[in-house]
Amino acid sequence: MSGDTEQDGDKMSKPVYILNGPNLNLLGTREPDIYGSDTLGDIEARLNTLAGNAKIVFRQTNHEGELVDWVQEASTQAGALIVNAGAYTHTSVALHDALRACDVPIIEVHLSNPAARESFRKRNFVAPVAKGTIAGFGAQGYELALQAALKLIT
Ligand code: CA2
């Protein structure tokens, strides 16, 4: 595209990282009333279709340090970062610090709406360092987040 800087070109060729935190590997197996009946694999497949020519890197971990490592990796390797940190959203200063140091736009996503649930879910260490949050729309929230991320980097 004429007028784009070399830096913009670089950003556009980088993948969107989509990082998922603890217990999200259980999606589709229980609590469908809260989290829906799609598995994480179903969501990943839909995002790959939606991404078209853009690349996505889709991962899940149950380990806080691994999530921190991946956020640090995203800072240099990704064009944008989508994160559903699961319960670490409400507990992890380490994740907050990693996201704060991350040089790419961050979009927070949640299947449920934590603000409408138990009071311990109201504390949030991710939202203050995210560009925006999509919550309460189930698996569709990931698609909305990817649309937003692609618009940010193209
Ligand atoms: O709504 C979300 O996406 C959450 O990030 C999900 C987390 C929860 O701790 C957050 O407050 C909100 C929980 C993920 C656990 O997912 C399960 C899925 C199926 C069965 C059991 C757990």
Percent of the chain having pLDDT more than 70? 92
pLDDT digits (tens, 9 = 90+) for 60-119: 999 999 999 999 999 999 999 999 999 999 999 999 999 999 999 999 999 999 999 999
Which domains are present in the chain? 2-153 (3.40.50.9100)
Specify the pLDDT at position 95: 99
CA-114 nearest atom, ligand 1: 11
CA-24 nearest atom, ligand 1: 16
What's the whole-model pTM score? 0.94
DSSP 12-73: HHSPEEEEE-TTGGGTTTS-HHHH-S--HHHHHHHHHHHHTTS-EEEEE-S-HHHHHHHHHH
Query: How far is the centre of ligand 1, averaged over its atoms, from the C-alpha of 78 (Å)?
Result: 24
Specify the pLDDT at position 64: 99
